[in-house]
Structures are given as structure tokens and as C-alpha cells.
Amino acid sequence: MNHIASLFLLTVLPVVVFGDDSWPPEPMQTGGRATQLTGEGLLAVPDAVTEQADEEGAAPFVVAGMPAIVRVAFHEDLGPDAAHRRLWSSWGDICLASDGSVYCGIGDHGDDAGGDARCFLYRWNPAEERLTQVVDMNDVVPHAPGQPAWSKVHARIDEGPDGGIYFSCTLNAGNRAGQEQYHWNDQLPGGQLYRYDPATGQTGVIANLPAKRCSATSLLDRERNIWWCNLEAGEGDALWGLDLTTAQTVFQSNDGAVGFNRNFALAADGSIVFNGVDCIRRFEPATGRVMDMDSSFPDSPGMRCSTRESTDGWIYGITHQSSQLFRYSPGRDELELLGPNWLGGMYTTVIVLSPDERFLYYFPGAHGQAFRDGTPVLQYEIATGRRKVLAFLAPELERVLHYVPGGTYGMKLSADGGTIYVNFNGHAADGLRPEGMRDNGFGLCGFAEIEIAASER
């Protein structure tokens, strides 16, 4: 067999039928070890995409000439009766640590107010190609009568300069945190910032967020060691910064200062660029002031995802609702729209700028709907505006693994720009889902490592 032919080998699993309460389904339980696939099937354009591509105003795209290599593992050790928990799902951005490990979180969207919810952190070891649970939040915050339980990791997971993995958990809807049914106490007064120590495997509380408030949006300024988040459940949303060295608050805006609250960006000078009610706003650490910018996003409440600032001064991202690619210069307060992110535009929650600053990478269809377009992996070339699909994942993952990836809120790109890491929401194929679980892009989480062919980058 020649080298080219060997690239198209597939690992094919037998057709099975759901017959017990194990979750993930029995065929997917491999001790967290990944299954690898590649081949021309990853490059086949789904009929639904071909039809949409012919519609007026659809953004053009090309398809890669060489398929990626995809490795997929599933989150195991979900506890008893895992198949019948409310909704296994992943809602936040993931962390690529300095040692190459990747950290991601999932939860069951369970009875948070009643204290019956599950929330976990996992570590992907690329050398072993294995996904392992490292944090059970019900061990970190033991259940107490009347106390709520965390059901989601929605804010980002980040590695601090000290090598610790920082994260915060939330409720099914963090903006409800002030409601009476949550019964906060001294042990759990509201949202908290946690630190997982990879060396010891221990997780501890670093700080409490202001009482009875949670966060679904955060980022870490590693250079200044400041953790920033959006505070929900007040009289409007607020920007909050915590110095990780001193565990002291460095800034808290007025409630209502933040408009659309699902994304903000870090500028190179340490400023925070965020969505105001009707314009882009900027917090300047040097002055401690929030400034209204002249720029605003047309036909959108603001940016839904954004990159780091490039060396030439641009933050790239995708808008909410209108799903337009954009770039914004915080130094010049200059905003440019770059067209739909995919066909006519599709909801996208995370985007990454490549290390060489040539490309943007993203997954359209975050909220469970990516599979309707085949779960495309997009590469946008900044210099030319070319959109390239590196793979259509859904058809082959369903055929080979009986798994349908429905979309993502978390992805990272390796330091050499050659590998994408992504934590998926999805559902099991027909025959593997228990009664009552729908094929809607949620209920079964999966982790993927996507190795981009050298000729495609």
C-alpha cells in the first residue's frame, strides 16, 4: 500500500443498538482513548451546503485538497445513571496549557437549585491521545442540604503564569443567581474562581465573586496576571477584574455598563474591549475609566467572539446574530466588517488567530446546529479573504463513530499552528440514544484533535 492510500484508512465500528444505561454508549467507551480517522469522506460537500452556496449573498468557499487527520475521544466517568441526566453539554472556551495539555469542561444542566447537578473538568493528553477527568466539582464543593450545585463551565478555562488552571462554574442560567431558590451560604456565596494544580491534582477556591453573582464570560490577562469576567445577576451586567497575585479586586464597573455580555477582548496594552449598550466600550487600566468608542456594530448587539490583538493592531471576531466577520483596531477605534463567516452567516462562539497571523479558524453553528451543514471546520485567510473548509466532520463521524458533532463553544490552536483542539456538543446516532434524548446536537460531548495537513496552512 502506498503512502497516499494509507492516508485514507478508516477505523470502522460495527452497527450497534442502545441496550443499557451506560453513557457514553458502550461502543464509545474506550477509557478516554481516541479513535483516529481521515480520508476523502471528510472533504465531501453535503447537499444542504451546495444548495445554500447557490443562494444570493452567500459567502464563497473552497474545500481543502488534503484531508485532516481527526482523533476523537469521549468524556467518561459521568457518574450513576448518566444516560438519563438532563443535558450533557459544554458551554465555555477550553485551555491549551504550556505543556501541550488541553483542559475542557462539561456539565449536565441538572437541578442546580436543588443541588443535583454535575460538572467536570477533563485533560487531553496529546502524547497518549487520551481524555481523562481531573476535576469533579461535587468533590470541590461538597453537597450540603439546600445548597445549589454547579451545572456548567461557561466562562473560559485559562492557564495562569504559575502553571495553575483557572476556571469558574455557573448555573443553568447565571443571571438567575440572585433568586431565592439558590440559598447561597458561607461556603458557596455565589460564583467562585477555582485553581486546579496539575502537579498535585488538587483544586481550590482562589476567590469569591461578588455575592450572589455568577459569570459566563471571562479571560485571563497573563502578562498582568489579572482575571477578568462579566458579572451576571445584578442590576445589569458589570465588568470585574481580579489580581491573581493579591486576590484583590482591581476594578468593578457599574451594573449596566456591559451590554451584550457573552464576549469581550483583551488589547495588547491591557485594555478590555467590550460591548456597551449601543457602542463598543473600552476599559483603560492606566486611567481606571470606561470610555465610549465611536465605533458600533451595525445590525448586531456586538461581538460574540474575538481573538487576541495581532501585532499590527487588529482584533478579529464574529458578531452576534448577524454572524459577520470583523476586525477592530482598539488603537484607532476603527471597525471593518469582512462579510458573512459562512454562507449567509451562522452563529459562532469562538475564533482563533493563527500564531503566524495568516489565518482565522472557527466552527460555524455553535448551538447544536453545525451538523446541518456537515459541521464544517473553517479557515479564513486574512490577506485574501478566502474561506476554506478543512473538513466536514459530521457525516464521517456519524458513519465511523456513530457520533454527530453539533457545534462548539471551545477551541484552541497548537503553538505551531498545525493542530486544532475542540470540545464538541453533539448527539449519538440513531439506535444509540436512550428514549427521550433527541437528535438536536446536545446530550453527548466529544473532544477532537484535528491535525491540519501541512499543504493546507
pTM recorded for the entire structure: 0.95
Q: Up-side HSE of residue 168: CA atoms within 13 Å toward CB?
A: 30
User: CA torsion, points 108, 93, 266, 209, in degrees to nearest 10?
Assistant: 20
Q: Are 151 and 118 in contact (CB under 8 A)?
A: yes
Which residue ranges form the domains of the chain, and what is each CATH number? 1-90+349-457 (no CATH), 93-262 (2.120.10.80)
The pLDDT value given to residue 20? 57
| Amino acid occupying residue 176 | R
Q: Which three cell numbers stand for residue 142?
A: 461538597
Q: What are the CA-CA distances from residue 345 to residues 64, 104, 136, 319, 409 (Å)?
A: 20, 27, 37, 10, 17
| Amino acid occupying residue 325 | L
Residue 246 burial by CB count (10 A; 0-12/13-18/19+): exposed, middle or buried?
A: exposed
Q: Cα(152)–Cα(38) distance, rounded to whole angstroms?
A: 32
The pLDDT value given to residue 125? 98
pLDDT digits (tens, 9 = 90+) for 31-87: 999 999 999 999 999 999 999 999 999 999 999 999 999 999 999 999 999 999 999
User: Residues 6 or more apart from 225 whose CB is under 8 A from it?
Assistant: 160, 161, 243, 244, 245
* Three-state secondary-structure class, residue 68: coil
* Three-state secondary-structure class, residue 434: coil
Q: Up-side HSE of residue 206: CA atoms within 13 Å toward CB?
A: 24
The pLDDT value given to residue 435? 85
* Tens of pLDDT, residue by residue, the chain (457 residues): 333 333 333 334 444 444 457 899 999 999 999 999 999 999 999 999 999 999 999 999 999 999 999 999 999 999 999 999 999 999 999 999 999 999 999 999 999 999 999 999 999 999 999 999 999 999 999 999 999 999 999 999 999 999 999 999 999 999 999 999 999 999 999 999 999 999 999 999 999 999 999 999 999 999 999 999 999 999 999 999 999 999 999 999 999 999 999 999 999 999 999 999 999 999 999 999 999 999 999 999 999 999 999 999 999 999 999 999 999 999 999 999 999 999 999 999 999 999 999 999 999 999 999 999 999 999 999 999 999 999 999 999 999 999 999 999 999 999 999 999 999 999 999 999 988 889 999 999 999 999 999 999 9
